[in-house]
Amino acid sequence: MNASSPAVLNGPFDLTYDSLTAVLPKSASGVFAIGYVDGLDRFRVQRVGRAGADIREQLRTLIGSGNQFKYRLTMTEREAFEIECALFHKLRPPSNISHPDRPRGSGWRCPHCLQYHR
């Protein structure tokens, strides 16, 4: 399995408090996409993001910014960052104005562009 393939997100699920509680574990890192299902049953991504410590809590702060979400849990925030970058470059979500950020001093590189090349 290609870890950076955007095709491996779970969902979509409703972006509601109850749904987040039912679907996601506590205190897990992961990557997510927020969007909606269009009239042709396609999931349209509006924004992508990640959480290093608690994806459930992170998505709770985004309730109201979209109708549905997809997600994938990761072992580390760095893994979430790399998938987030892949989704960002592939999908160009309209609500992601700038490139995914990285923690200061982490040295992480985007595998898909030269945004962080040192």
Q: Does 113 bind Zn ion (CB under 5 A)?
A: yes
Strand ordering across the sheet containing 29-37: 10-14, 68-74, 29-37, 43-51
Q: Does 115 bind Zn ion (CB under 5 A)?
A: yes
Residue 100 amino acid letter:
P
Residue 95 amino acid letter:
S
Neighbours of 88 (CB within 10 A): 23
Window of 32-40, 44-52, 65-73, 110-118 that interacts with Zn ion by CB under 5 A: 110-118
Window of 40-48, 59-67, 74-82, 84-92 that interacts with Zn ion by CB under 5 A: 84-92
Q: Which is nearer to Zn ion, 51 or 83 (CB)?
A: 83
Lookup: tokens for 118: 């040192």
Would you tell me which residues interact with Zn ion (CB under 5 A)? 85, 110, 112-113, 115
